[in-house]
Amino acid sequence: MRYLPDAKKTVYVFGHKNPDTDSTCAAITYAWLKNQLDSDKEYIPAVLGNINSETSFCLEYFGINMPIKLESLKPRVADMRLERIQPVHEQDSILEVVQKIVTTSGKTLPVADDKGRLMGIISITDLVPALISSQQNQFKELVIPVSNLLHVLELSKIQGHLEDDVFRGNVYVFSDLTYYSRIAKNGLIICNRHEFGTGFMFSLEPKYIIVADVEDNSAIEPIKDYKGVIFTSRKNIYDLVQAVNLALPVSNLIKKENLEYYALSEEIEDVRKNMITSKYRSYPVVNEHGKIVGMFSRSNLMDVSPKEVILVDHNEKGQSIDGIETNKILEVIDHHRISDFQTMGPLFYRAEPVGSTNTIICKMYLENGIEIPKPMAGLMLSGILSDTLIFKSPTCTPEDKRLAEHLAEIAGVNIQKYGIRMLSKGESLEGIPPRTIITRDMKKFIMGNYKVSVSQVNVGDIEAYKEILGHMKAELESVCNDNNLDLSVLMLTSLVMGGTELIVAGEEKWLAQAAFNMEKGKDDVFIKGMFSRKKQVVPKLMAMAYT
């Protein structure tokens, strides 16, 4: 059994859902670093959602293309080891198809059209009636590709010109004919050398003659004035008669209705469900253009290669891509708390209490002696400045500042000027639907018995958004209900105002009201000096949830 060869192993590097600048830049810069350190694999940066305007500004400023967007990493048909097969075609002879099918594990083959697209399937059971056919002596109104006759009957042409690609007519055995016999137009006669030598058959005006038991073609003399085609074959007459059946095309034996096949993009989980009611054991696989790329059987479902991934800026299943539990996590680079994190096996895990994942990645460039190109320096700087709010966040450490200054020098930018310009790109929320504002950077947490979300958006002057506060509260309540959450928190953070407007919703909003000493009955409060979700909001909510 042969299988499709593995290409160079791909490893996806990505951050959390609702990507922000730090996670997106970390995916790009760490994938670039890994490609310098490991030539055996290809590391591809990706995002799990639409990037915001702040991140778009950073990528455009430093001339970096948008990473690919991943919707899911649940195992798909493409992740199985597919059996390499050569599809058959409807004009192929029964003999040729039988020879191919007996060497196929599932005893089933796909049938392709002239462009390689799936048009049907054929199995060994479909061929059995043709193999045990009891037809003898006369074969009426046959339609057989001439190439099939030449191959299956092992014919050599010694006279005449083949004008047709397909033989359409009756096949006769000369010994069954009488003096008074007549044959249909375009007929084919099978005879032995002696019968051919009598010359009688030419009066019947066959279009084709096959002379059996001929080892040496030079022993057969051409016939003057005969306008048909003369073949010879080493086979005897009995074998030739039997071979006519095997030269027939399989077109009438193909199953074309209610085909069961799968596309490369289909999820393995769905395949398993469909197989429960399927009567077949082998299935063709097609690509997005409908072309056949292989086959698989039920046993192949046990041989699915998990995708290899690296997580940056997160480690919680709820914040990662759908299907993450079915994939092989090679590494985690993060600066958050460790939560519900489980893996199939050991891995490289690096988490440090710094203000940005890009701070850790910058250290890894330096530790490995890898020269930092200007674009990578610019993106790492952007991630640090975004997550630390230009060093104003309480999560910021001296190490963040030191490495940011080093990166700014390589990138050729002024930290304050570039940072303010970058953050200003994410400030304007005018015209953006409230739900988009809430879900753009929303992270979900399990806190004791409660399911909680905390969203954070950087804005300019919070006063400008007071007029839509009512709409924001109503939408936050809706988002909370739609996601089956107990509590949803929205942070509108402003460097200009020097703090965060905190809005809460949900049946358990008392958790936030108590944690942040909100006035009784109120569901919003401005907190001076609040900039960090990770350090100033989540810990207080967790403490209250476990009280």
328 SS3 class: strand
44 SS3 class: strand
Would you call 341 exposed, middle or buried from its count of C-beta atoms within 10 A (0-12, 13-18, 19+)?
A: middle
DSSP 202: G
Q: Would you say 443 and 454 are in contact if contact means Cβ atoms under 8 Å apart? A: yes
The phi and psi torsions of 244 (rounded to 5 degrees) equal -55, -45
DSSP 533: I
Amino acid identity of residue 427, one-letter, is E
What does the pLDDT look like over 362-420, one tens digit per residue?
999 999 999 999 999 999 999 999 999 999 888 899 999 999 999 999 999 999 999 98
How far apart CA 362 and CA 357 sit, in angstroms, is 9
Per-residue pLDDT of the chain (547 residues; tens, 9 = 90+): 343 444 568 999 999 988 999 999 999 999 999 999 999 999 999 999 999 889 999 999 999 999 999 988 888 898 888 888 889 999 999 999 999 998 887 789 999 999 999 999 999 888 887 777 644 445 888 999 999 999 999 999 999 999 899 999 999 999 888 877 888 888 999 999 999 988 888 888 899 999 999 999 988 888 888 889 999 999 999 999 989 989 999 998 999 988 889 999 898 889 988 888 888 888 999 999 999 999 988 878 877 778 899 999 998 888 888 888 888 999 999 998 887 666 667 889 999 999 999 999 999 999 999 999 999 999 999 999 999 999 988 889 999 999 999 999 999 999 999 998 998 876 666 677 889 889 988 889 999 899 999 999 888 666 666 767 788 899 999 999 999 999 999 998 888 788 899 999 999 999 999 999 998 889 999 999 998 898 899 999 999 998 7
- Residues with Cβ within 8 Å of residue 214, at least 6 apart in sequence: 193, 220, 232, 233, 234
**Cα 471–Cα 436–Cα 531 angle in degrees, nearest 5:** 85
List b or e across 75-89, with b for residues whose CB sees 16 or more CB atoms inside 10 angstroms: bbbbbbebbebebbb
How far apart CA 487 and CA 469 sit, in angstroms, is 18
Continuous segment of H or E residues that includes residue 222: none
How far apart CA 339 and CA 163 sit, in angstroms, is 76
The phi and psi torsions of 133 (rounded to 5 degrees) equal -60, 140
Residue found by looking up tokens 């014919």 in the block: 155
How far apart CA 25 and CA 19 sit, in angstroms, is 10
Q: Write out the two tokens for 111.
A: 């049938």
- Residues with Cβ within 8 Å of residue 525, at least 6 apart in sequence: 501, 502, 516, 518, 519
What pLDDT is attached to residue 506? 95
DSSP 153: T
Beta strands in 186-322, from DSSP E residues, in sequence order: 188-191, 208-211, 229-233, 262-263, 282-286, 292-297, 308-312
- Residues with Cβ within 8 Å of residue 362, at least 6 apart in sequence: 372, 380, 384, 403, 406, 407
246 SS3 class: helix
How far apart CA 363 and CA 403 sit, in angstroms, is 8
Task: Report yes or no on whether pTM surpasses 0.75.
Answer: no
End-to-end Cα, the chain, rounded Å: 61
Q: Write out the two tokens for 492.
A: 């509108």
Question: Largest Cα–Cα distance in the chain?
Answer: 118
Domains and CATH numbers, the chain: 9-75+307-424 (3.90.1640.10), 434-545 (3.10.310.20)
The dihedral built from the CA positions of residue 289, 290, 295 and 297, taken in this order, carries a sign that is: positive
What pLDDT is attached to residue 3? 39
Rounded to the nearest angstrom, the gap between the alpha carbon of residue 508 and the centroid of all alpha carbons in its chain is 40
Count of Cβ atoms closer than 10 Å to residue 59 Cβ: 21
Q: Would you say 230 and 160 are in contact if contact means Cβ atoms under 8 Å apart? A: yes
- Residues with Cβ within 8 Å of residue 507, at least 6 apart in sequence: 486, 487
How far apart CA 17 and CA 31 sit, in angstroms, is 18
**Cα 103–Cα 301–Cα 309 angle in degrees, nearest 5:** 125
Q: Write out the two tokens for 243.
A: 């071979």
